[in-house]
Amino acid sequence: MSTLLRKKKAAIFDLDGTLLDSMGVWQEVDRVFLARRGIPLPDDYAAAIAPMGFPAAAEYTKKRFSLPEDEETIMAEWHTLAVDAYANEVGLKHGVLEYLSSLRRRRIPFAAATASRAEFYLPALRRLGIADWFSSVTEISEVSRGKGNPDIYLRAAEKLGYAAEDCAVFEDIVPGVRGATAGGFYTVAVYDEHCANPELLQAICDRYIYSFSELLSDDIF
């Protein structure tokens, strides 16, 4: 955990579970998908696939549950289950709109770094009116390793034009915080009710928040 806070110049946000209140959607997708095959949803499943992109998560799921379907079929079913929820139901977490608005007023650039795919998050961001607020979006498919590593955050910082030490990464999962920390970023962990290990998350981040509204009066920028 960092003890000194160098003034930050840019922000990198995870989307699912950090800005978007969407983790419940994915748990429901997981539950329905596995229930169709007579498999109860394991307690550790959501945390296991959270840092992965779709292909890696499908490969993991196929192997873990010895499914006969190929990865493309698994991903297609996930897609069908999730796309409607993102387009019509997923909202922002508490304080997000106000906080992003404050960054824009202060001309602090921000980007997204996500393990999700555009067909999910873009309809939600557009419906919520913030799709064009981000300088860029970096997807996990653009790098070779998952969110337990710094690659996606380094790529997002590169797009922003800043070094890692000039950026804060906002994440809601342990692998994300660990990956960002390994890359030299300041980390802000965001509470999510679906987080598998909130105590560990609090222990390894530089700052922990329950709501983005906390940053409106005590920001890091």
Full residue range of the structural domain in which residue 35 is found: 23-88
Count CB neighbours of 86 within 10 A: 22
Whether 132 and 196 map to the same domain: the answer is: yes
CB 121 within 8 A of CB 145: no
Alpha carbon distance 100, 110 (integer Å): 9
Residue 206 has pLDDT above 60, yes or no: yes
Higher per-residue pLDDT: 3 or 204? 204
Within its chain, how far is the Cα of 89 from the centroid?
A: 18
- Domain edge (last residue) among 88, 116, 142: 88
Report if residue 3 sits inside a domain: no
Give mean pLDDT, residues 170-175. 95
pLDDT at 7: 83
Q: Is residue 131 part of a domain?
A: yes
Determine, yes or no, domain membership for 171. yes
pLDDT at residue 2, as a whole number: 45
pLDDT in tens, 157-167: 999 999 999 99
Residue 155 makes CB contacts below 8 A (sequence gap 6+) with 113, 138, 142, 143
Give dist(CA 58, CA 50) in Å, integer: 12
Helix H or strand E encompassing 149: none
Beta-carbon contacts of 80 under 8 Å, excluding residues fewer than 6 positions away, are: none
- Supply the pTM of this predicted model: 0.83
My answer on whether 16 and 68 are in the same domain is: no
Mean pLDDT to the nearest integer, 142-168: 96
- The yes-or-no verdict on residue 54 having pLDDT over 90 is no
> Which residues share a beta bridge with 114?
139
Nearest to 53 by CA among 142, 185, 137: 142
- Beta-sheet strands, E only, within 32-160: 91-92, 110-114, 137-139
Q: What's the pLDDT tens digit per position in 56-97? A: 999 999 999 999 999 999 999 998 988 988 998 899 999 999
Look at residue 196 and tell me whether its pLDDT is greater than 80. no
Per DSSP (E only), the strands in the chain are 10-13, 20-21, 91-92, 110-114, 137-139, 167-171, 186-190, 207-209
Domain co-membership, 65 together with 163: no
Q: What 8-state DSSP symbol labels residue 19?
A: T
- Confidence class for position 5, pLDDT limits 50, 70, 90: low
- Kindly state whether residue 2 falls inside one of the protein's structural domains: no
Would you give the end-to-end CA distance of the chain in angstroms? 18
> 126 with 191, same domain?
yes
152 and 123 together in one domain: yes
| Count of domains for the chain | 2
If asked whether residues 14 and 63 sit together in one domain, one would say: no
Query: What's the pLDDT score for residue 51?
Result: 83
The amino acid sitting at 94 is H
What value does the mean pLDDT take over residues 119-123? 94
Q: Hey, what amino acid is at 153?
A: Y
For residue 208, give both structure tokens: 């922990």
State whether 105 and 190 are in the same domain: yes
Residue 1 belongs to some domain of the structure: no
- Split at pLDDT 50, 70, 90, the class of 25 is confident
In a domain, 221, yes or no: no
Residue 17 lies in a domain: yes
pLDDT for the residue numbered 85: 87
- In this prediction, residues 8-33 reach a mean pLDDT of 93
120 & 199 share domain: yes
- What count of other Cβ atoms lies within 10 Å of the Cβ of residue 13? 26
> Same domain for 84 and 94?
no
Question: In this structure, are 109 and 153 located in the same domain?
Answer: yes
- On whether both 200 and 126 belong to a single domain, the answer is yes
Q: What is the CATH number of the domain that holds 138?
A: 3.40.50.1000
Q: Are 191 and 143 part of one and the same domain? A: yes
